[in-house]
């Protein structure tokens, strides 16, 4: 068993239910990974600014695949990004606001996310928790000329399936892809631009085969990443769809599942 890269989702996977992780326990683990030249990839639907805040001492040594693959940061520098067209963004915002007035739309740029000041309180609270760099604006359409890598929808849980189904009916498959990412959130991403495709490009650059990749996830937006990795782990708290896609199962995020599997691997080494 040879591992040269490890990719971890954050919410529901690396982070526990309190949105944190065993920071002291991570230090020796990460030190060992670096000594063995094993790349550590944080792959999340969250923005880069928020992700790097979890690793204040090591963020330049970690590879970040943020915004569900829309942004890749390598050695502390933006390595790749893929953005929506102004026309498509305008169509998305118009459709959602006309059909679902209570639906909250967050436009996610490489550095900053934008939410309307008029968004409901539950969505404002969600945005404050998950977006480290966030601006409240009067109108989202004022920002569609900026590079936007992902559109996030914050919804009451009971609306998620309906909204996702209707988006698929209105927008062509080659225009956008809608994936659930937990917490009543739907992420609209550019087709074929996801965690899996971004990680696959990194592996190619590093001359690393997918058979040498270990990956951990719990939600639908982790599927492509898990299918790519030979050593794919669904968290015990993950969805059934994720468990079917992964080859193995890890203990839950509240049971330090990612740490335990990585430690087992290092001990065998």
Q: Which residues are catalytic?
A: 9
In the 3-class helix/strand/coil scheme, how is the chain assigned residue by residue? CCCCEEEECHHHHHCCCCCCCCHHHHHHHHHHHHHCCCEEEEECCCCHHHHHHCCCCCCCCCEEEEHHHCEEEECCEEEEECCCCHHHHHHHHHHHHHHCCCCEEEEECCCCEEEECCCCHHHHHHHHHHCCCEEEECCHHHHCCCCCCEEEEECCHHHHHHHHHHHHHHCCCCCCEEEECCCCEEEEECCCCCHHHHHHHHHHHHCCCHHHEEEEECCHHHHHHHHHCCEEEEECCCCHHHHHHCCEEECCHHHCHHHHHHHHHHHHC
């Amino acid at each position: 068993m040879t591992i040269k890269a490890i990719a971890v989702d954050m919410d529901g996977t690396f982070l526990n239910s309190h949105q944190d992780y065993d920071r002291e326990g991570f230090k020796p683990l990460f030190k060992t990974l670096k000594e063995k030249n094993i790349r550590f990839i944080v792959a999340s639907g969250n923005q880069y600014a928020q992700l790097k805040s979890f690793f204040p001492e090591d963020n330049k040594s970690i590879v970040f695949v943020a915004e569900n693959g829309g942004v890749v940061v390598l050695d502390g520098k933006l390595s790749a990004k893929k953005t929506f067209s102004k026309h498509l963004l305008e169509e998305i915002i118009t459709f959602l606001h006309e059909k679902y007035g209570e639906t909250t739309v967050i436009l996610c740029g490489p550095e900053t996310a934008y939410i309307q000041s008029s968004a409901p309180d539950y969505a404002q609270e969600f945005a404050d928790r998950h977006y480290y760099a966030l601006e409240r604006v009067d109108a989202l359409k004022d920002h569609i000329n900026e590079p936007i890598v992902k559109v996030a929808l914050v919804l009451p849980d009971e609306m998620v399936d309906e909204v996702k189904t209707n988006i698929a009916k209105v927008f062509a498959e080659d225009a956008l892809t809608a994936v659930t990412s937990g917490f009543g959130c739907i992420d609209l991403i550019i087709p074929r631009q996801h965690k899996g495709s971004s990680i696959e490009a990194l592996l190619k650059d590093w001359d690393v085969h997918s058979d040498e990749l270990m990956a951990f996830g719990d939600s639908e937006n982790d599927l492509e990443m898990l299918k790519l990795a030979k050593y794919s782990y669904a968290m015990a708290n993950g969805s059934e769809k994720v468990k079917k896609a992964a080859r193995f199962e890890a203990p839950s995020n509240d049971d330090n599942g990612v740490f335990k599997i990585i430690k087992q691997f290092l001990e065998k080494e």
